[in-house]
Structure 1
Amino acid sequence: MTLRVGRIPFLVCAPFFHDFLGRESEFKDVEFVDGAPSAHCAGLKEGSIHLSPASSITFAQKPGAFVLAPDICTSCSFEVRSVKLFAKCPIKELSQKVVRLTAQSMTSVNLLKILLEERYGVKPQYCSGTLGKHDDACLLIGDQALEENERHRFAYDYDLGVLWQDWLHVPFVFGAWIVSKTALQPGLKDSLRRYLDATRESVEHFRQNPLAALDRWLARYPVDLPRPVIENYYSALDYRFTEDRKRSLSLFFEHATSMGLIAEAPPLEFLPF
């Protein structure tokens, strides 16, 4: 049987995957599927992939279907830099204004709605699709957000990781390693254990030699950013799924439930390895 892994070709996920590039033959029981967080959210729920560092909201969208890797996630020390609201006016003035939402991550979309409506009491007009010249603000994630940081086209920008931590005093969890319980069957469980152990090693190797890791990653997934900007980006990221991050994820689910964005706030359930 083949373990199907959702791989996200964004800079934020380079630590998880760089070690596997060029070594795929060593993992003959693993198939990588590239796609945005939204695609892997759908894949997990539909059963076309077994695990991914997907949008954290995915865990709550199909209660009881998934478990979480207990020690790795995608979070930040304070700012995340790659999940941002760019606006033409201050955030408190966005009521009835047009806010364009990314289609790449439902976690970021729902986080923005919680922040705007529950923290700031703002109710804008949410729209999807391509950014228009008359839009008042837009939510961008991943490499697109990092690239927009360099363009300086908007008068205001807001880092959603900062807004959440400043409000609730815990770092936000943008992505969790979500594992379908179908991967726990005897034909896949050993592959899953081996793969996650190798992923933890990949993160550690990235910490030890980020420049070499980025050389490997950018050769496969180039981005239009200066190399110093890319290298500095990782100073804002933290991949440890600590107790305060687990508490933060539960808080996110509670706020999403209170706003009707998800049906219920499920208890966190973790892999035993």
Structure 2
Amino acid sequence: MINNQASVRIGRIDFTNVWPLFYYFPFSSFGNDLEVTQQVPSGLNRAMAEGRIDIGAISSFAYGENFDEYLVFPDMSVSAFGQVNSILLFHRKPLEELGDAKIALPTTSATSINLLKIILTKFYGLQPEYEYAAPELEPMMKSADAALLIGDHAIRASWEKNGYLVTDLATEWTRLTGQWMTFAVCTIRKQTVEQYPELVSRIYEAFLESKSKSLADPAALVRDAQKQIGGTEAYWQRYFSELCYEFGPKQWAGLSLYYQYAAELGFLERNVPLQIWKDNSVVRVTE
């Protein structure tokens, strides 16, 4: 009996913010060794946790929930130091007045939802009511005082003249902590590294090559973003240039602080060490 199952299954977030990692990825050169699944972050998080995906650009929070099973690729993430443009809270009242508010949360996120809770609870001392809803701004705001949107849903909503106050959560995080915020990391199941070390190395190099080529000349990404999402060339040029796709010590420090706060507030069961894959060995970052 012939087994046609791919050796490694890769998960891709269905948002423009991860395009540089995948845009020039040479999937055809891997033949039947790879299979690609594209979903919203929450779907990929579940698939990775259940072992249905081996390598994934998943929510940073999802790594924190299952770090015993995962390693993280260095040099690639979706991060920001300040404005990210696609993690946005729309609200009628200033942040400090949201203590008795009802906030609608998208069903597509994990990292951003808990970032919002960290900001409001730890830094503003607020405990608003939260509810989950499909990621559509106006329906969310019909029953809530504020709504969190992420990814392309947030981008589209930010172009509308809706009269709401808008807070970029990455900007707020950096203002409050002075740190980077990392929203997604490229994660590998430890078992996959053990089974396919050479293939994992090839995949890592292919991701880096795609990232470098995309950022060196983002014109093609910009054109495709305009076709699929809308907006102007100038908007997407700025969008891709303001996002950071690195994952080194500065980003590690910011993400470690996020994990620390999440554990303190009970969103994560324990403190999370970053276990960084490097040439099929592991570098453990605890600070």
Check whether TM > 0.5. Answer: yes
Aligned to 2:234: 228
C-alpha separation in 2, matches of 1:75 and 1:154: 28
Q: Is the 8 A contact 2:77 2:182 kept in 1?
A: yes
Gaps (5+ residues) in structure 1?
none
SS at structure 2 position matched to 1:64: helix
Contact kept, 8 Å, 1:14 with 1:214, in 2: the verdict is no
**Which amino acid in the other structure matches residue 40 of structure 2?**
A
RMSD after superposition = 1.6
| Matched-pair contact (CA < 8 Å) for 1:82–1:140 | yes
Which of the residues 173, 198, 208 maps onto 2:206? 198
Q: d(CA) in 2 for partners of 1:209 and 1:174? A: 23
C-alpha separation between the residues in 2 aligned to 1:132 and 1:212? 35
In structure 2, what is the equivalent of residue 14 of structure 1? 19
2:148 pairs with 1:144: no
Deviation at residue 224 of structure 1 after TM alignment: 3.1
- TM-score (normalised: structure 2): 0.89
Equivalent position of 2:106 in the other structure: 102
Which residue of structure 2 aligns with residue 208 of structure 1? 216
Matches within 5 A, 1:170-209: 170-186=179-195, 188-209=196-217
Q: Which amino acid aligns with 2:10?
A: V
Q: Distance in 2 between matches of 1:176 and 1:141?
A: 16
Query: Residues of 2 paired with 1:213 and 1:233: CA distance?
Result: 11
Q: Match of 1:234, SS?
A: helix
Q: Note the C-alpha offset of 1:71.
A: 1.7
What corresponds to 2:59 in structure 1? 55
1:28-177 pair list within 5 angstroms: 28=31, 29-130=33-134, 131-177=140-186
Runs of 4+ in 1 over 4 A off after TM superposition: none
Q: Which amino acid aligns with 1:163?
A: E
Structure 2 segments unaligned to the other structure (5+ residues): 1-5, 135-139, 280-287
Deviations 1:230-271 (A, max 9, x none): 222112201111212101111111101111101001211111
Instruction: Give the whole-Å Cα distance in 1 for the aligned partners of 2:143 and 2:130.
Output: 13
**1:2–1:10 Cα change, 3 Å:** same
Identity between Structure 1 and Structure 2 (%): 28
Paired residue secondary structure (1:263): coil
Do the aligned residues in 1 keep the contact of 2:9 with 2:35 (CA within 8 Å)? yes
Query: TM-score scaled to structure 1, two decimals?
Result: 0.93
Match of 1:249 in 2: 255
Q: 2:243 corresponds to which letter in structure 1?
A: L
User: What's the CA shift string for 1:93-140, capped at 9, x where partnerless?
Assistant: 111211000111110000000001111111111000141413110000
How far does the alpha carbon of each residue in 1:25-57 deviate from its partner, in whole angstroms, 9 at most, with x for none? 222111110001111111111000011111001
